[in-house]
Amino acid sequence: MTCRPGALAVAAFSCVTWGASALLADEAPTFADREDGAEADETERGLGMMLNPLAIAAGVFGGDLDFVVVRRIALSAEGAVFQLGDGGTSTALGVGLLVYPTRSAFHGLVLEPRAVYTRPLRQPPFRFDWDANVVGFGGVAGWQWAWDYGFTVRLGAGGMKFIGAARAPGLPLGRDGVDVVLDGSFGWLF
Write phi, then psi, for 161 (nearest 5 degrees).
-105, 120
Q: Which residues contact 41 (CB under 8 A, 6 or more apart)?
A: 34, 148
The answer to whether residue 30 sits within a structural domain is no
Overall number of domains in the chain: 1
The answer to whether residue 39 sits within a structural domain is no
The answer to whether residue 175 sits within a structural domain is yes
- 113-90-68 Cα angle (round to 5): 30
Per-residue pLDDT for the chain (190 aa), expressed as one digit of tens each?
555 655 555 565 565 555 555 555 555 555 445 555 545 546 688 999 999 998 888 888 999 999 999 999 999 999 999 887 777 888 999 999 999 999 999 999 999 999 999 888 888 877 777 777 889 999 999 999 999 889 999 999 999 998 876 555 554 444 467 888 899 999 999 9
pTM of the model: 0.72
Q: In which domain, by residue range, is 110 found?
A: 47-189
The answer to whether residue 1 sits within a structural domain is no
The answer to whether residue 12 sits within a structural domain is no
CATH number, domain containing residue 143:
2.40.160
The answer to whether residue 96 sits within a structural domain is yes
The answer to whether residue 3 sits within a structural domain is no
C-alpha to C-alpha distance for 155 and 145, rounded to whole angstroms = 9
